[in-house]
Amino acid sequence: MNSAQELRSRWILWTLAAFAFAWAILRAAVQSITIDEAVTYNVFVFNRRFFWYAANNHILNSALMYGFTKAFGVSQFTARLPALLGAALYIAAAYRLCRLLGPSVFVPVTVFVCLVFNPFIFDHLVAARGYGLALAFLMWAIVYFAEASLAGRYLVFACAVSSACAGMSVSANFSFAFVAAVTMSSILVRALRKRPNEWFRLASACLLPAAAVIAIVSGYALRHWEPGQLIYGAHGLRETFGTVLEASLFQNRFGFLKPLVFPLVMVTGVLWLASALRTGAEPNIASLGGAASAIFAVTLAVHWLSFRLFGLLLPKDRTAIYFFPLFMIAAGALASVPPSLNLARYLRGAFLGSLALMGVYFLLCLRLTYFKEWFWDADVQKTYAVLSCLNRDHHVRQVATTWSYEAALNFYQLAQPTSMEEIGEHFDPARTQVYVVDSFHTPEALEGKNLKIFYRSPATDLVLAASPVLADAYASGTCFRL
């Protein structure tokens, strides 16, 4: 083993990990709160309903959000502290996983960049939702057992830790239930191969901690489950993976590369896999890649059967987010297989090059001020500052808004109170002083109201409108110099 190369790899990975977490912190601090994040706080956290069952209420995230906002006050940053905890855990798990891929520099670094800086993944390491925590605990369930399995000790304890992590993953987001169950089944099968005579201890270790965690954290919600919540999903596998690819490739200046990134990885990966199967791989690396591939395939099969037999919609977009890390674990294991012949070197080189292209593309997608999922909310924080100024300088108290801004504006009203009344969707011509309109989703909102736009967001389709007299008075003030 080349100790100098290994040390260099570690330093690069540490640097990338530190940058990733710092970028996540910066985004959490500066990005406006979004509709789904605000609904979580306004409805469930503020009203102490964080254990209630609802599709928008991710139990573990909401409970932690309650604790953090109680301890440190309400702000978009404190609301996102649970997500940042998930980011720290996910980044650490990705680091530990990449250390398993060998002492080289190129493969671990490339896989780490792809795992962490995928814009789809990174958005959910910042957003105050349960997906980042769920991903982090799922990754630790895989990584912790893989490390123990490779070391050949503490197998029962490793199964128990992985099981607890799987339970935390499900409690962070119920859409991870199938993948967590399949992951623990895979871990149990692997453990039984190593110690077939300890099946009772291993089965108990794989099952009981997850069951206990889910019962403690999510038991109340599951006992009060109500039908009609599972309405978000895909109706076909093409839609499932189409949404994952679209979110993973959003968005940078080199859009012409977008159609090439994943096809290149897939084509070169299949060619290199065909060669590597003939050559043979190091057993531990092959086991890691095979396990990730099996978890991916079986989880997909379980979802598909549930859709066909029971009408349960397939994962879509954020509810399918775990497929990419599983894909990258398998790709990383494949990339770690050493070539034996000249042709194999070229095939592996092409695969590594395609992974590097993917990593560079992801790095070029780094953004600071908006989420792909909720791009229209990117300017709500500044808009609330304008409304607060209008409240102070022009005694604006009655504000109405279209649906896409209501929750976010009311979150800021809770975090930074003013004398404005609660902001709702009902526009009253006799009372409403300012109308906040999303001209992208609801362009018809201004029709027939005799209102004049006096402010347009520089970043989104948000506009502020009022009666012509009030609009002229507001526009002549100082509130738009913020």
CA distance 9 to 16: 11
Q: Annotate 171-240 with DSSP letters as a single string.
A: HH-GGGHHHHHHHHHHHHHHHHHH-GGGHHHHHHHHHHHHHHHHHHHHHHHHHT--TT-----BSSHHHH
Q: What single-letter amino acid sits at 227?
A: P
| pLDDT at position 281 over 80 | no
DSSP conformational letter for 2: -
263 and 224, same structural domain? Answer: yes
Average pLDDT, integer, range 447-473: 92
For residue 343, the model assigns a pLDDT of 82
Instruction: Render the burial of 401-421: b for 16+ CB within 10 Å, e for the rest.
Output: bbebbbbbbbbbbebeebebe
Q: How many domains are there within the chain?
A: 2
Q: Please say which residue of 304, 328, 363 terminates a domain.
A: 363
For 437, phi then psi, to 5°, come to: -125, 135
Looking at the domain assignment, is residue 14 inside a domain?
Answer: yes
Q: Are 462 and 409 a contacting pair, CB within 8 Å?
A: no
pLDDT of 1-40, one tens digit each? 467 788 888 999 999 999 999 999 999 999 999 999 999 9
385 and 288, same structural domain? Answer: no
393 and 358, same structural domain? Answer: no
For residue 255, the model assigns a pLDDT of 85
* Residue 282 banded pLDDT, cuts 50, 70, 90: low
pLDDT of 413-444, one tens digit each? 999 999 999 999 999 999 999 999 999 999 99
| pLDDT at position 201 over 60 | yes
For 238, phi then psi, to 5°, come to: -60, -40
431 and 323, same structural domain? Answer: no
Q: Please say which residue of 296, 329, 363 terminates a domain.
A: 363
pLDDT of 100-143, one tens digit each? 988 789 999 999 999 999 999 999 999 999 999 999 999 999 99
The fraction of the chain above a pLDDT of 90, given in percent, is: 81
Q: Annotate 255-306 with DSSP letters as a single string.
A: GGGTTTHHHHHHHHHHHHHHHHHHH---HHHHHHHHHHHHHHHHHHHHHHHH
Sheet hosting strand 399-401, strand order edge to edge: 399-401, 434-438, 462-466, 452-456
DSSP 3-state assignment of 127?
Answer: coil
Looking at the domain assignment, is residue 157 inside a domain?
Answer: yes
327 and 449, same structural domain? Answer: no
248 and 193, same structural domain? Answer: yes
For residue 158, the model assigns a pLDDT of 95
| pLDDT at position 279 over 60 | yes
pLDDT of 292-311, one tens digit each? 999 999 999 999 999 999 99
* Residue 481 banded pLDDT, cuts 50, 70, 90: low
For residue 1, the model assigns a pLDDT of 47
**Token pair of 456, please?**
């347009």
Which structural domain range is residue 413 located in?
379-481
